[in-house]
Amino acid sequence: MKDIVSTGRTPWTASSWQQRHAVQQPEYTDRSELKNVLERVASMPPLVTPWEVRRLESLLAEAAAGKRFLLQGGDCAELFSECQPDIIANRIKVLLQMSLVLIYGLHMPVVRVGRFAGQYAKPRSSDFETRGSMTLPSYRGDIVNGVEFTKTSRKPDPKRLLRAYHHAAATLNHVRALGEGGFADLHHPEYWDLGFVHQDALRTEYQGVVDAILEAIRFTEAVSSERMSEMERVSFFTSHEALLLPFEEALTRPDSHSDDVFNLGTHFPWIGMRTSNMESAHVEFLRGLANPIAVKVGPGMETSELKSLVRHLNPDARPGRLTLIARLGQAQIGSQLPDMIRAVSATGVPVLWSCDPMHGNTETLSNGTKTRRFETMLTELEESLDIHHAEKSVLGGVHLELTGENVTECTGGARGLQDQDLERAYQSQVDPRLNSEQALEMAFALIRKVRSL
Ligand code: PEP
Ligand code: CO
């Protein structure tokens, strides 16, 4: 059978994960409705194509080799209600602006990957949430249930799987249209106005980057008498945590031109920290996919486990195949990352190291608000750069939760948001995100650090 892939020693199929216990899955009461919906999803067209996925892998291989930088970012959890043109365009805009700063400051191309068009499933630390005298299933993302704290809304609803597919398709369609319509054209960064960024210093610094890039483009085009590559213009890839395995399986398809099997619901699926152990159903599912994949590496991961995982997920040592997204926290990175880098390097398996400075630095204020401090996140990112530099390794990417909206969810940054400012525009239902001003500041701070190394 075509869709059986021999990966490592044991055979794999898109459903072999079902032999394992899958954690972080909702309890659906109506199994026959679930089955019908999944069949419907499985009959729908794919969202992405194998050739796009293969191209992304080659770009990630370049990032691992220090020749390109991965910028991966977007919401913690996408909401169906936020599948709106302005919200999508603003998120694209901030990612484009950041990528411009990175291209300019790092002197290398950037591969842009959104946490969007499918980032609808969330792992939770508890299956239930209690408010007053009422206990209900936790919110697990729009693909599973509703955020509203009522019995009906919190009940896992299989019909949401199909809605997730449609919302992902609509989002991706808009992202592609913006790219093709010239919105994302490097020749026209003036389309990407700075929105609510009012800090004069940040505006001036950004304008300097735009002017320098436009001048470089004009110079290159004048010398070569050609327009710069079309490919560089668009390239937005999608990614999400491949958490809800029945849904991921329904979008997994054999390639008609090879023996490969692709998850065509996204270009770049990742395994979250809570599901990344060697025996997990999630590791089993992702190991057989032909997509490039990523794993979130948290402070609880032993170096011996990390080595096994790296060999298991990239048995052919394919460059670009595996990205490790370290999310250790500022307090732990110094004591853990060096050993992890050495352990992975000892396997001889190539990986792309990325830094998620957000998930290890979440704090809960006394009033229950979850936040993250800009300065703590930046320190983790800077330490990551220092450590990779000292280990003669490459930090080839960054992974951020951000939005193009004017939210107040993370404190700090040049505007100096304080704890008491958070309630002004706190919108996230899950983790706190950088607003576009903070995101742009993070990009500038990153290039400053790289230049100082
Ligand atoms: C996330 O990326 O939103 C997330 C839950 O991350 P992690 O798996 O690193 O905790
Ligand atoms: Co998150």
Query: Does the pLDDT at position 185 exceed 90?
Result: no
CB 358 within 8 A of CB 115: no
Sketch the domain layout of the chain as residue ranges.
70-452
Q: How do residues 1-49 score in pLDDT, each as one tens digit?
A: 445 555 556 899 999 999 999 999 999 999 999 999 999 999 999 999 9
Q: How do residues 48-104 score in pLDDT, each as one tens digit?
A: 999 999 999 999 999 999 999 999 999 999 999 999 999 999 999 999 999 999 999
* Residue whose token pair is 């055979």: 11
SS (H, E, C) 297-352: ECCCCCHHHHHHHHHHHCCCCCCCCEEEEECCCHHHHHHHHHHHHHHHHHHCCCCE
Residue 2 makes CB contacts below 8 A (sequence gap 6+) with 254, 259
Question: Ligand 1 pocket, 76 CB below 6 A?
Answer: yes
Query: Mean per-residue pLDDT for 200-212?
Result: 88
pLDDT at 218: 83
pLDDT at 3: 54
Q: How do residues 367-387 score in pLDDT, each as one tens digit?
A: 999 999 999 999 999 999 999
Q: Could you tell me the fold of the domain covering 70-452?
A: TIM Barrel (3.20.20)
Q: How do residues 102-129 score in pLDDT, each as one tens digit?
A: 999 999 999 999 999 999 999 999 999 9
> Cα(23) to centroid of ligand 1, in Å?
15
pLDDT at 103: 92
Query: Does the pLDDT at position 196 exceed 80?
Result: no
> Cα(32) to centroid of ligand 2, in Å?
32
Mean pLDDT over each residue of the chain, to the nearest integer:
93
Q: How do residues 231-271 score in pLDDT, each as one tens digit?
A: 455 579 999 999 999 999 999 999 999 999 999 999 999 99
Read off the pLDDT band of 221 (50, 70, 90): confident
Whose C-alpha lies nearest to ligand 1, atom 4? Answer: 272
Question: Ligand 1 pocket, 327 CB below 6 A?
Answer: yes
pLDDT at 5: 58
CA distances for 302 relative to 264, 317, 344, 353, 357, angstroms: 32, 21, 11, 17, 19
Residue 124 makes CB contacts below 8 A (sequence gap 6+) with 24, 138, 139, 140
Q: Pick the atom of ligand 1 nearest to 274's CA.
A: 8
Give the Cα separation of 220 and 238 in Å (integer).
30
Question: Ligand 1 pocket, 174 CB below 6 A?
Answer: no
Q: Pick the atom of ligand 1 nearest to 325's CA.
A: 9
pLDDT at 1: 41
What are the beta bridge partners of residue 254? 261
CA 77, distance to chain mean position in Å, is 11
Whose C-alpha lies nearest to ligand 1, atom 10? Answer: 273
Query: Does the pLDDT at position 186 exceed 80?
Result: no
Percent of the chain's residues with pLDDT above 70 = 96
Comparison of pLDDT for 297 and 204, the residue scoring more: 297
pTM greater than 0.85 (yes/no): yes
